[in-house]
Amino acid sequence: MDMLSIRKLHAGVAGKEILRGIDLEVRAGEVHAVMGPNGSGKSTLAQVLAGHPGFVVTGGEVLYEGRNLLEMPPEERARAGLFLAFQYPVEIPGVPNAEFLKAAVNAVREHRGLEELDAMEFLALLKEKMKLVDMDPAFMSRPVNEGFSGGEKKRNEILQMAVLEPRLAILDETDSGLDIDALRTVADGINRLRRPDNAIVLVTHYQRLLEYVTPDRVHVLSGGCIVKSGDRTLAHELEARGYEWLEASAEALPR
């Protein structure tokens, strides 16, 4: 069965349609890359899947493990195993990173029928995961994302992903603005999540990350539609030719 099934999805912000009929099927065990130029709707797709209230769905449907995803509030999606790594992680003054993560992990565990982690168990888990993403423990007592550099914020997203162990991870331009070391760390974090029962959707502008995480499928989003899909070689082709040759075909699509 498909883990994620998007059919004819239309969405946007008040008065402006951004996604104009997206179709996408993602099976367990697969890694999909969604690529496309700026403004093509990549981030909107990621945010709509996570349930951002600022976007309005005007048509189509999304099934997640057979359930109607669009009817679920954002926290239920998260508890059911969907994770969005934000392109711009939000700063939360006054809330220590560790406190936030503990609240999140226990919310997800409760939903899965698991016992709450106590402080000791949580710290042990956190220590292990922090090593994986190569993060300084000092970050745990600092407020969530506050004063973090761009790279630190992205690592923090990957840390959250590692701790929450989602079934479907959507990474929204997690690779942008990273130096090569941070990019490798992020790629490692993604590859570790890659298992037969999980799926990953990488939203990215560049082919760079795909040198470290090999996608099963590559889709090109343009003008709010998927205009081309292929295997990993499509990413190379985009790198070489740019997006312009595909944007022309988006114009030709029926609205």
Residues that bind other proteins (CB under 8 A): 50-54, 73-75, 77-79, 83-84, 86, 89-95, 99-100, 103-104, 107-108, 111, 143, 160, 164
Check if the beta carbon of residue 101 is closer than 8 Å to that of residue 83: no
Angle between helices 97-111 and 150-164 in degrees, nearest 10 = 30
> Minimum CB separation from other proteins for residue 53, in Å?
6
Check if the beta carbon of residue 254 is closer than 8 Å to that of residue 236: no
Q: Which is closer to other proteins, CB of 10 or CB of 142? A: 142
Cβ-based neighbours of 55, under 8 Å, separated by 6 or more? 11, 12, 13, 18, 44, 47, 48
Gap between the Cα atoms of 225 and 157, Å rounded: 27
Q: Which is closer to other proteins, CB of 147 or CB of 196? A: 147
- Output the CA torsion sign for 92, 98, 99, 103: positive
Q: Which is closer to other proteins, CB of 20 or CB of 42? A: 42
> Minimum CB separation from other proteins for residue 99, in Å?
8
> Minimum CB separation from other proteins for residue 45, in Å?
15
Q: Which is closer to other proteins, CB of 160 or CB of 222? A: 160
> Minimum CB separation from other proteins for residue 143, in Å?
7
Gap between the Cα atoms of 110 and 213, Å rounded: 31
> Minimum CB separation from other proteins for residue 207, in Å?
27
> Minimum CB separation from other proteins for residue 74, in Å?
4
Quickly list H helices, the chain: 42-50, 74-79, 97-111, 119-133, 150-164, 180-193, 233-241, 244-252
Q: Which is closer to other proteins, CB of 106 or CB of 249? A: 106
Q: How far is CA 216 from CA 28, 194, 206, in A?
A: 11, 12, 16
Q: Which is closer to other proteins, CB of 65 or CB of 99? A: 99
> Minimum CB separation from other proteins for residue 201, in Å?
15
129 three-state secondary structure: helix
Report the chain's terminal Cα–Cα distance, integer Å.
Answer: 30
Q: Which is closer to other proteins, CB of 102 or CB of 228? A: 102
